[in-house]
Structures are given as C-alpha cells and as structure tokens.
Structure 1
Amino acid sequence: MARVLSLFRPRPLLALFGVRKAALCRMSLDSRAREVFAEAVESVQPDVAVQRSIERKENSLIVNGRSFTLKNNLHLVGFGKAVLGMAAEAERVLGDQLVNGVISVPHGIQEKFRQHGKDHMLLKDNSRIKVMEGAEHNLPDADAQRAADYIKNVAVGLTEEDLLLVLISGGGSALLPAPIPPISLQEKQDVTRRLAGAGATIQELNTVRRALSLLKGGGLAQCAHPAQVVALILSDVIGDPLDLIASGPTVWKPVGAEEVLSVLDRYKLSASLPGSVKEVLGRASPRWEENKDPSGRAERVLNTVIGSNSIALRCAGRRARELGFRPVVLSLGVCGDVRSVSRLYGLLARFACSRDEPPPELAAEVLELGPEVGVESWDLCRTMQVLGEGRTEGWGATCLLAGGEPTVELKGKGRGGRNQELALRVGLELRGMELPPNGPVFLSGGTDGQDGPTEAAGAVIDGGLWEKARAQGLDIDGSLANNDSFTFFSNLSGGQNLLSPGLTGTNVMDVHMLLIPPIPIKIR
C-alpha cells in the first residue's frame, strides 16, 4: 500500500514547478510587464554590453572572434550618450594596456549619474581617459567641437602597431562635430538645418553632413590609419545601419561630389551656400571621388554592434518565458505616427482576445496599417497566426514584443513623450472591448529612461483605462489634444501607471509590450 501511495507523491521538480506557478499567478500582469522591461534595459546596459562583447586573454583582446595583440599599444576614444559607462568597463578590463583616451559625452551626464547612484558608470579618479562634456540640449556646440579635436589628435598620431578602441552610441553625431576647414560649425549647422526644413530625408541629410565633416562617414578611421581600429557600437537606429549610427565615423562610405551637389540642387540651396562650403565641395578629394576603399583601409577596421533593440527584445522574450508567457516578436522597426501605431496594437489585442473567430475585416485592417507603421506584411501574418493559435489552442498567456521609435505630432503645450502618448492612445483603442480577466496589458517605454521632457520612461495600461479615467474625472481626449500624457498619468491613480526606472545610461530606442492573458475557451 505504501508503495502504491508513493507513486502519487509529487516529485521534487513537479512540486517546485507548482510553487513557481502559484507564485506567478500571484504576480499581476502589470508587475510582470515591468519585470520584462527591466530585463530588456539591463541587457543593453553599457557596461553589460561591453563585458559581453570583449574578452581578455593574457596579451590579446578578443572581439567577435578576432584576436588583437595587446602590448601597451591601446588608445581609446568615444562619443555618445552611453559611452561613459562603456569606457568605465573597457578600462576595467583593459586598463593596464591603455596608453591614453578621450570621450565626448553629454553636458552634465557625470553629475546625473552621481545623483542616480550609478557610480559604476563613472571613471575612476586615476583614469587615463579624459572626459569632455558638450552638446548641451543634444546640439553640436563649441565644447563638443573641442572634444572632437582631441579625438582627432589621438587618432592621427597612431602607427601600424597601435590599436584604437572606438566606443560609439546614440547621440554621437552631435558630440563629434568636426567640419572641414574653412567651414565653421555654425555654417555647417545652418546648411543641415535648412536642408531639414526643406524636407530632406535622413539619407540626404547624412550625405551632405558626411561630405562636410572630417570625422563622419569613415573619417575617424581614415585619421587613425594605419592603426587597427575596433569599434564597439550601441545602436539607437532601426535596423542598426552602421553608416547612420553617429553618422558612421568608422564606416567607409564614399560620397561623390556630384551626389552632394545633386541633393543641394534638389532643394534649391546650391546658390545660397556659404563660400566656405562651396570651396570644400569644389575640391578634388579622393575621399569623395574614389569608388573603392583607398589602400584597403576598411580591412583594418572592425565594427561590432554590441547593444541594440534586437538584443533587448531577445532578452526580454527570455524573461517573459520565465514569467509564464509565450513570447513573440512582432517587429524591430515600428515607426510612424503614434495614432496609427496605437490603432495597430488595439487591433492585435482584439484579434488575440476574441473568444470567437475574429472577422476577416479585422485582419485586413491590420495588414493595411503595416506600411504606415514600418511593419512587413509577413511579420503581421506570422504574428496573427501565433496569436490565433494561442487563442484556439489555449496556450495560456502570450507576450507580444516590438521595438522602434514612433513619432508624435506636437499640437499642444502639455508634458509627455511618445511612449506615454502611445500607451494612452492604446488604452483608448481598448475601450468597449470584451476583456478577459486581468488584461490585456500594454507597456511602452524608452530604454534611456526618459520619455520627452519628463521623469518617466513611459507607461503601463490595461483595458480598463478609459473607465478608470472617467471615474476619476480625467479627460483622455483633452490630454491627447494638448500632448499632456504625463499630467494625465500623474493624476490617474496617483501615478501608478507611470514607468519610472530613472536614468538608465543606455539607449536602444523603445520597447513595446502587449501581454495577453489566457483566453477562456468558449464552450459551444
């Protein structure tokens, strides 16, 4: 009898699973969404990204499978919003081999890190790396240009025996302004500002910007030749195009003079260019005219993306699975107006939570929205297939993840950012929906911890947002009309819906998350 009873006793592993499952059931969807977001941010912390990407083996540096000899020949430069933390970790690993270094970082960032208790992202007092702050309000200025001159001087003095480690992150373009003489910084800014005002695309802007810059478009790598250059890049651009991240200072990108003039002609700016710009564009420069890499210099450069939205979402998906969800990534490139993006998420929520087969017109509208929000039809079809299977086969909870950087049309004078406005608009899209218990939950957050001019990174909402707002006398439509999402969420339930991780020290764009709880199967 005892033998028979023992067969029905729970195994230790099954018992542990039962305890874990019970613990997960006690966690709200809101709490689990915040945990998944925290994991996404943690995975792309500057120090974590550097630590994951470089390996020190005695007198060798291993990066992306390639080995570089270390013999007190290491020089370091960097520029961007996240390079302070990257530099601190790089010096911890490689400091005894470091000859010198200089990094260009945003104005006031060291004091902000101290205030937020992020001392691990600060360099030690005896560091061999010089920290220069500039680009206040994310605009190139004299301080940033001074830092760019220091960085250029480090690069031009290198030999074939030297190794230049370049740390790059978002914001690096504004922190590395080096116009080709005799162009002044103000003249270069005026040209690019007028181009942007005339409606030039980001590709056209970068074409002109590179042509007028000493260090962008591979210029820094050229200055460092014949040294070996290794660039560690934290990407804040959709698709991780190396030539666009900080305008590609280590990426060889030939720019033909005719191509530059064609862009300027297109927007009727050629005749009104400053004399200095005309002089530079009129020079016969092998950097512009060569179609091939001169002297095989690109072979001496290794560019490696060590942190990106893709990495953040992959780690977020792993944490989501640990918390009891089946993760599915919709897209890494969600863009376009937040009104269209919120409509997409609202439709996907309705598709996933419907107890009956969703009407064909719902899926058709999802596919129609795809081009407006930067999502391929294939990804939408794949996602709807997964959500449909989850609904009909009773998988349990699903975590839909996406990344990107939508835009907001500013009409009002309120406070908020694209993530808070997106969350608020999704809450409006879910109004009147037949809701499953405890869901769905939507989160939108900026990985840098700052959403617009506010202290929040974004917000977390559920399908009952509209009813809660009405009960508390809050006007969603008025808040949206005034771009005042932060004030709305601050007043809703004492600010409980705000996502406020504080300054993170990194930036790989935004994370969007839609948590779908288990849908009760309808008995026919």
Structure 2
Amino acid sequence: MARLLPVHVRRVFCQPHSPIRNMANLQDDAHRIFWSAVSAVLPPRMLPRALTVRDTGGSSVLECGGKAFTLKKNLYLVGFGKAVLGMAAAVEQIVGNHLVEGVISIPQGMEESLKQAGKREMLLNTESRIRVMEGATNNMPDEAAMRAAGEIQRLAEKLEEQHLLLVLISGGGSALLPAPVPPLTLPDKQAITQQLALKGATIQELNTIRRALSQLKGGGLSRAAYPAQVVSLILSDVVGDDLDVIASGPTVCSAYEAADCLQILSRYGLRGSVPAAEEVLLSRPRAEPSQHLGHVHNVLIGSNLMSLREAGQESQTLGYLTSLLSAAVSGDVKLVSRFFALLAEVICSYIMCAPQRQRLEEKILALASSMDIHDLNLAELLQDLTEAGGVDAVCVLCGGETTVQVQGNGRGGRNQELALRVAAEWHKCQAAMQGCDVMFLSGGTDGQDGPTQAAGAFSYPELVEQARQGGLDTEAFLKDSDSYGFFSHFQNGRRLLVTGLTGTNVMDVQVLLVRRCKDQ
C-alpha cells in the first residue's frame, strides 16, 4: 500500500507571523480556520497531487502511488462516498478519453447541493462517461444505494486481465455500497447497524459487522474485479487511517473471526434482537481472503491530519500561537467535552499567570491518561506554553470522531452535542477563565452533523447562562439528545455551523481559541 501522507501526528507549535489582530469576534476566526481545514481536502486540490497521466512516445502511462500503468482505452472507474463526485470530476479531467466507463454512488442530494453552491469544479461535465447514482439518505443504506452497488459489482465482474479499475473511496462509502450476502435482505442489515449506532458502537465495530454481512466489503470488490488491476484512491474518514475500516475496506482483503462479530452484538445487548439469519451468518467461519493480492494497489490521498495542518497555517496567519494536539480524538462525547473544557482553563491559566496553573495541569494530565487518545501531544503543549511566556492568544486544533449514545427524541449530531457539553462544563467554572475570551468549534468536514442541516456548532463559557436567561434549559436539551434544537433556538441559530454539503469527508475538526481580553 502506498501512502502519500504521514500516518502519525507530528507536533506543531509555532510563533505567529504577526501580533494578534484586534478582532472582536472569535467565531469568525474559528469559522475561517475550520474552512481552511475543509479546503485542504477538497478533491480539486487532492487529485492532481495523487494522479498523473504521462505520454511516453506514442503511449500513455497512469502514475499513482509510485506505480505506473499503461493506458490503452482500458480504464474503468467506480466510486462511493461523500467526496466521490468531486473526486470523479477531478479524475476525468486528468485521464480524459482514456476512461471507458464509470459508475459512482454518492449521497442523495449531493449533486444538486454542489450545483446550488456554485461548485462547478466538483461536478461532472455533460459528456462524462461516468454514471452518477444517488442514495443513502441521511447516511443510511437504502434501496437506491443497493441498486448502485449492484451496478458497481456488475462493472467490476466483467473486467479482464488487460483492464485497469480505478476505485474512488471516501467517508460515507459503506452506506453507499450495500450488498448483503444472501439470504439476508437490506432491511435485515439496516436493523442491526441502526441498533448498533444508536447504542454508541464505534465506527470500527460497525464496519466489522458490515464486512461480515457484505458481498463487496472486506475486499469483496477487489475479488469481483480479479484479474484486472485495481487502484484505489482513498480519502480517510477514520481514526488511524486504517484502510480496512474506511468504507469497510472494499479493496482491502481481510478475514474476520465470527467470535469478534458475536462479541460486538453481546456488548450492546443485541444477540437476541437481530434476525436469526444474521446470527447464523455471523456464526459461520468465513473463507480466508483471496490469495490474489498483487492486482490491488491502495493509495491514501487525504486525511484529517492533512486538513489540520492547513488549518494550523491559517491560524498562524490570523496571529495565534498554534498547536496541533491530535488527529485521533475519539471516545464518549461526555468525557471528551470535559477534556476540552479543562484544556481551555489550563491555557487561560498560562495567559493570565494564574496561581492555580499547576493544579489544573495535574488535573488535565490525569484526565488525558484515562482517555487513551493516540498521539495526544498534551505534555508537549504544556511545555511549549511554559517556554513561550507572555503569550496572548492560543489556537489548539484537534480532529477525530467522538461517539454519542442517543437517549432522547431530539435532533443533533456528535459535533453539536460536543459543543453544547463543552459549554455546560464551562458553566460550572467560569471564574477560572476570567481575563480570557474563549471560543470552541466542532464541525464535520462533510458539512452534515447527524440528520441535521448543520455541520456543527460554536460554544463559549457564557452560552449556558445566556440560554437560561432566554428561557432555555440546557440540561433538558441534552437529555433529549436535542443539541440542534438548542442551537436553533439560541440567537436564531447563529451559533450553528452551516456549510452545506462540502463534497469531502475526513471526520471532524475541533478549534479551541483562547485569547487575553482586550482590557487586560
């Protein structure tokens, strides 16, 4: 497998290019930093870096991931995911008439959303050889997505040894490629994934089950395309960038243990509530993956880390002392919210030279050790804050994907709930941040946070008190899993992050800004 991006987060802590500007609205800064993260992984920027066509004296060669493939009107394309429409448009610009045929499966409404947003560079032209099929409304597999999966499977199965199949994969691809193993039906498969998601199952757990129940996931697509050469261009939307997890690994051949699947069902109390046919299937040992692995080449072309690095450059331009803390923030949203709230207190204690700094440091180090976040550069951040001295404004960047256990009938998503819970934590300790302005933003890079029109939300220490004065009970909204309802009522929704579907997806981005008040 070729990787165009580094896997591990490397600490970034840089002096700003210029003194902090006198900007009254931290929300504008947070929004600008977030959008720079999204822009870094938009297809028109990513694909030209990953894919080139070179003429070599009468013939053409496709170069990707350090490998070269001869083009002889033998190129086919399939794709599935939230970023795939823009990826396909960029690929077709690069390969031109070498492409024979293509089929892509994208979210319902994606094409129209990009049209309305004026993002013509992310749309196929009218003469495209790529057929667009939409489905998976609200990121759930449906009959439309199943039809698209069938077309993708048929295209792959007709290929021969002289053919080259280019596969475009991004986040959301799993829901857009449903092909249950007979005799299972799509409703059978939907039932188990919906129940697992509602109970807070991780993306890794969900994909383990999906692979076990699918014809195309877990390397199934690459097996269908054999003996054709397969080149996958993958945009990661999972912590750790594990290729067998992204869209459930349709081009990553892997076996699974039936015991792992049954253990996941038991963990969430679902062993007795899933269809009997699923229990039978999950209990059967699966054949080892195909030995024909030489025809598959997987290339990682974009990730959350790449987006955070771009955001870091933007925050420096705005005048912030910037730290890239982690691209692997995961776990229960309640615990993660406590971490971000406490982190703001710690940074404020440095800016204000507060006497409680050492106590707060010890507290956050203990909390961080209980969270098991990979590549969390907290100790380095604290050290650099100490060495910086006299800092007035700090930006901390994180990325990843938290989990939420839905407990009510409200609407929301993990980013909006995280932002609201951070504000609720701050409400308990506003005095600890006197002298500083603080803003927190959490947003999904795909532009959709749960079944809502928002990508995420902004919060700050005074939010809960202002809501109370307006007659809003924050705890009631949280108990009803209605973070979207809260932010929609609050200041006419101006604390919601609304971007529309962006055409990309590399998990979530968090921006924490802490700045000395102007009168201090």
Normalised to the residue count of structure 1, the TM-score between the two structures is 0.83
Alignment-derived partner of residue 418 in structure 1? 414
| Residue 43 (str. 1) matches residue 43 (str. 2) | no
Selected match of 1:324 from 319, 323, 335: 319
| Residue 289 (str. 1) matches residue 270 (str. 2) | no
Alignment-derived partner of residue 100 in structure 1? 101
| Residue 33 (str. 1) matches residue 30 (str. 2) | yes
- Structure 2 residue runs without a partner (length 5+): 1-16
CA-CA distance at 1:155 after TM superposition: 1.4
8 Å CA contact 2:81–2:170 kept in 1: the answer is yes
Alignment-derived partner of residue 348 in structure 2? 353
8 Å CA contact 2:258–2:282 kept in 1: the answer is no
Label 1:127 to 1:357 Cα distance change in 2 as closer, same or farther (>3 A).
Answer: same
Label 1:485 to 1:99 Cα distance change in 2 as closer, same or farther (>3 A).
Answer: same
* Mapped partners of 2:151, 2:210: distance in 1: 20
Selected match of 1:439 from 431, 437, 440: 437
C-alpha deviations, 1:444-502, integer Å up to 9, x for none? 11212222333322222333334544554544334334434334334444443332222
Alignment-derived partner of residue 71 in structure 2? 70
CA-CA distance at 1:77 after TM superposition: 0.2
Alignment-derived partner of residue 390 in structure 2? 394
In structure 2, give the amino acid aligned to 1:102: V
Alignment of structure 1 residues 456-467 onto 2, 5 Å: 456-467=454-465
Label 1:268 to 1:337 Cα distance change in 2 as closer, same or farther (>3 A).
Answer: closer
Label 1:27 to 1:483 Cα distance change in 2 as closer, same or farther (>3 A).
Answer: same
Label 1:146 to 1:458 Cα distance change in 2 as closer, same or farther (>3 A).
Answer: closer
| Residue 512 (str. 1) matches residue 507 (str. 2) | no
3-state SS in 2 of match to 1:62 = strand
Alignment of structure 1 residues 81-480 onto 2, 5 Å: 81-189=82-190, 203=204, 206-255=207-256, 278=280, 288-289=287-288, 294=291, 297-354=292-349, 355-370=353-368, 373-376=371-374, 379-390=377-388, 393-431=389-427, 432-435=430-433, 439-470=437-468, 472-480=470-478
C-alpha deviations, 1:134-158, integer Å up to 9, x for none? 2233332332222222111211222
* Mapped partners of 2:274, 2:424: distance in 1: 48
With 314-323 and 261-270 compared, the bigger mean Cα shift is at 261-270
Q: Which has the higher helix share?
A: 1
3-state SS in 2 of match to 1:336 = strand
C-alpha deviations, 1:296-330, integer Å up to 9, x for none? x3232221222221111111111111111222122
* Mapped partners of 1:96, 1:416: distance in 2: 44
8 Å CA contact 1:75–1:163 kept in 2: the answer is yes
User: Aligned pairs, how many?
Assistant: 494
In structure 2, give the amino acid aligned to 1:422: L
3-state SS in 2 of match to 1:94 = helix
8 Å CA contact 2:82–2:446 kept in 1: the answer is no
CA-CA distance at 1:180 after TM superposition: 3.3
Normalised to the residue count of structure 2, the TM-score between the two structures is 0.83
8 Å CA contact 1:419–1:451 kept in 2: the answer is yes
8 Å CA contact 2:200–2:405 kept in 1: the answer is no
3-state SS in 1 of match to 2:239 = coil
In structure 2, give the amino acid aligned to 1:304: V
Alignment-derived partner of residue 15 in structure 1? none
CA-CA distance at 1:177 after TM superposition: 1.8
Q: Percent identity?
A: 49
Label 1:164 to 1:274 Cα distance change in 2 as closer, same or farther (>3 A).
Answer: same
CA-CA distance at 1:164 after TM superposition: 0.8
CA-CA distance at 1:60 after TM superposition: 2.2
8 Å CA contact 2:171–2:236 kept in 1: the answer is yes
Selected match of 2:486 from 482, 485, 488: 488
8 Å CA contact 2:449–2:455 kept in 1: the answer is yes
Label 1:488 to 1:76 Cα distance change in 2 as closer, same or farther (>3 A).
Answer: same
Label 1:387 to 1:482 Cα distance change in 2 as closer, same or farther (>3 A).
Answer: farther
Label 1:376 to 1:247 Cα distance change in 2 as closer, same or farther (>3 A).
Answer: closer
In structure 1, give the amino acid aligned to 2:415: N
Label 1:254 to 1:505 Cα distance change in 2 as closer, same or farther (>3 A).
Answer: same
Label 1:119 to 1:282 Cα distance change in 2 as closer, same or farther (>3 A).
Answer: same
With 154-163 and 124-133 compared, the bigger mean Cα shift is at 154-163
* Mapped partners of 2:247, 2:511: distance in 1: 28
8 Å CA contact 2:265–2:271 kept in 1: the answer is yes
| Residue 54 (str. 1) matches residue 51 (str. 2) | yes
CA-CA distance at 1:440 after TM superposition: 2.0
CA-CA distance at 1:37 after TM superposition: 0.6
Label 1:348 to 1:519 Cα distance change in 2 as closer, same or farther (>3 A).
Answer: farther
* Mapped partners of 1:195, 1:451: distance in 2: 18
* Mapped partners of 1:197, 1:410: distance in 2: 6
CA-CA distance at 1:416 after TM superposition: 3.1
Higher relative contact order (CA 8 A, sep 6+): 2
In structure 2, give the amino acid aligned to 1:369: L
Label 1:135 to 1:472 Cα distance change in 2 as closer, same or farther (>3 A).
Answer: closer
With 370-379 and 158-167 compared, the bigger mean Cα shift is at 370-379
* Mapped partners of 2:449, 2:423: distance in 1: 18
Label 1:316 to 1:106 Cα distance change in 2 as closer, same or farther (>3 A).
Answer: same
- Structure 1 residue runs without a partner (length 5+): 1-19
With 480-489 and 128-137 compared, the bigger mean Cα shift is at 480-489
In structure 2, give the amino acid aligned to 1:502: G
C-alpha deviations, 1:247-305, integer Å up to 9, x for none? 1010011236677688789989699975698589769x7xx236xx51xx323222122
